[in-house]
């Protein structure tokens, strides 16, 4: 019997395919806005929680995987992923409990055995747990997402297999060039890191995010990973998490220095975005992050050097209004209230009052 129950739905089917393609950010983007539609769906919370784990969002991973296990405690993949999250949170006893319970019913489960072996090694080593998560070796403790191969790809693989016999002699001739080590994508980022002897925690701090040393180190490494892969807006969120946490000032200064590498995205290189619901759940965490939202405009007013407006988020089809955000843009555009638009904008916190503002940096009309 499958560990997942319930019928597949459109959003869930798309997310399951993207999960096998390792497009974890897109899985999160698709599923998080659908939470009210899948309150009791085990597969929904498993895909969402495991995707958060792969993205290094251990807080989100804990929330969704905990819910998955609450619905179906027999879901072994979810239990294995949750055990990893407990380990990252410094709750090794809870991780051990989960792995031991799995082995009671399935003594041959290699992930649970590997988990126990890893925990034993960590207990005898120095700085073992931070190193495990900094290098993302914890992903070896959970099953692979699998693989999605479309039909056309199978034909391509078959042709490539045959062509390999033809091209093999030429490949051997130029092997030295083929196996040259590629240059790092952004080598300058590797120079900024938390040293082993750096103070990591401000023990007297009372912050929005009270993190452990392991969580701070993992968060810092997640920032560097996002920047190296040009996922700058995710890096901005994790920089904010450190700045809003009980991290030592030295760590905050290093995180702040990484923000210099964050570039303004375009429609060509910014396919996914935080949702409006995500941003409004904790606006300070998303300060300075870029979003890509659809909607309509109202109260357009032209001022010297800028256009002020209200952006009606999600109202592009005039069916659902997620929220109204005051916005401005510093470039010319002929805005019409009866047109739908897609924008890329930077989230800005207003001074002295709640809510958010948006600085629109790019805009185009939607053909609805």
3-state helix, strand, coil in the chain (%, to 5): 50, 15, 35
Question: Chain-wide mean pLDDT for the chain?
Answer: 83
**Residue of 169 and 63 predicted with greater confidence:** 63
Q: pLDDT digits over 54-67, tens only?
A: 888 889 899 999 99
Tell me the chain's radius of gyration from C-alpha atoms: 23
**Alpha-carbon distance 331 to 342, whole Å?**
15
Is residue 281 predicted with pLDDT exceeding 60?
yes
Strands (E), the chain: 290-303, 306-313, 323-329, 341-348, 357-365
Is residue 5 predicted with pLDDT exceeding 60?
no
Return the structure tokens found at 8.
């597949």
Q: pLDDT digits over 326-354, tens only?
A: 999 999 888 988 899 999 999 999 988 88
Question: In this structure, are residues 80 and 142 in contact, taking their beta carbons and an 8 Å threshold?
Answer: yes
In CATH, what number does 10-141 get? 1.25.40.10
Please give the C-alpha separations between residue 92 and each of 77, 95, 122, 218, 322, in angstroms, as whole numbers: 18, 5, 10, 16, 40
Q: What's the confidence (pLDDT) of residue 240?
A: 95
Q: What's the confidence (pLDDT) of residue 22?
A: 86
Is residue 180 predicted with pLDDT exceeding 50?
no
**Residue of 120 and 60 predicted with greater confidence:** 60
pLDDT band for position 46 (cuts 50, 70, 90): very high
Q: What's the confidence (pLDDT) of residue 190?
A: 77
Q: What's the confidence (pLDDT) of residue 169?
A: 54
pTM greater than the 0.75 cutoff: no
pLDDT band for position 117 (cuts 50, 70, 90): confident
Q: What's the confidence (pLDDT) of residue 84?
A: 92
Q: Find the Cα–Cα–Cα–Cα dihedral 83, 26, 342, 352, rounded to 10°.
A: 10
Q: pLDDT digits over 217-254, tens only?
A: 888 988 888 888 888 999 999 999 999 999 999 999 99
Which alpha helices (DSSP H) does 174-212 contain, by range?
175-178
pLDDT band for position 115 (cuts 50, 70, 90): confident
**Residue of 1 and 309 predicted with greater confidence:** 309
Domain ranges (residues) in the chain: 10-141, 187-261, 276-365
What phi-psi label fits residue 170: left (phi over 0), alpha (psi between -120 and 50 degrees) or beta?
alpha
Q: What's the confidence (pLDDT) of residue 20?
A: 87
Q: What's the confidence (pLDDT) of residue 298?
A: 94
In CATH, what number does 276-365 get? 2.40.50.140
Question: In this structure, are residues 3 and 30 in contact, taking their beta carbons and an 8 Å threshold?
Answer: no
Q: What's the confidence (pLDDT) of residue 360?
A: 95
């Amino acid at each position: 019997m499958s560990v997942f129950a319930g019928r597949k739905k459109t959003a869930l089917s798309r997310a399951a395919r993207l999960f096998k393609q390792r497009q974890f950010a897109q899985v999160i983007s698709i599923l998080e806005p659908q939470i009210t539609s899948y309150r009791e769906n085990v597969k929904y919370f498993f895909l969402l929680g495991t995707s958060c784990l792969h993205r290094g969002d251990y807080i989100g991973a804990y929330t969704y995987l905990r819910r998955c296990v609450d619905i179906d405690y027999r879901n072994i993949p979810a239990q294995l992923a949750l055990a990893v999250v407990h380990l990252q949170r410094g709750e090794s006893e809870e991780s051990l409990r989960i792995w031991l319970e799995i082995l009671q019913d399935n003594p041959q489960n290699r992930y649970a055995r590997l988990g126990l072996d890893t925990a034993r090694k960590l207990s005898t080593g120095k700085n073992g747990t931070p190193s495990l998560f900094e290098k993302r070796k914890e992903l070896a403790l959970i099953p692979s997402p699998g693989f999605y191969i479309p039909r056309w790809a199978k034909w391509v693989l078959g042709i490539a297999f045959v062509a390999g016999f033809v091209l093999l002699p030429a490949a051997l001739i130029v092997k030295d060039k083929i196996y040259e080590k590629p240059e790092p994508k952004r080598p300058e980022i590797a120079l900024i890191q938390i040293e082993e002897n750096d103070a990591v925690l401000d023990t007297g701090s009372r912050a929005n995010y009270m993190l452990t040393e392991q969580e701070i180190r993992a968060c810092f490494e997640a920032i560097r990973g996002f920047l190296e892969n040009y996922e700058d807006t995710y890096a901005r969120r994790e920089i904010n998490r450190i700045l809003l946490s009980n991290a030592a000032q030295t760590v905050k200064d290093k995180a702040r220095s990484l923000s210099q590498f964050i570039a303004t995205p375009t429609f060509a290189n910014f396919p996914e975005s935080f949702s409006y619901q995500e941003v409004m759940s904790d606006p300070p965490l998303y300060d300075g992050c870029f979003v890509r939202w659809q909607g309509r405009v109202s109260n357009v007013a032209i001022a010297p050097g800028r256009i002020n407006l209200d952006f009606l988020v999600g109202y592009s089809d005039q069916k659902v209004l997620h929220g109204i955000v005051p916005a401005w843009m510093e470039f010319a555009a002929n805005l019409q209230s009866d047109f739908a638009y897609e924008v890329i904008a930077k989230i800005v916190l207003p001074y002295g009052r709640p809510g958010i503002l948006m600085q629109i940096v790019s805009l185009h009309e939607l053909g609805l």
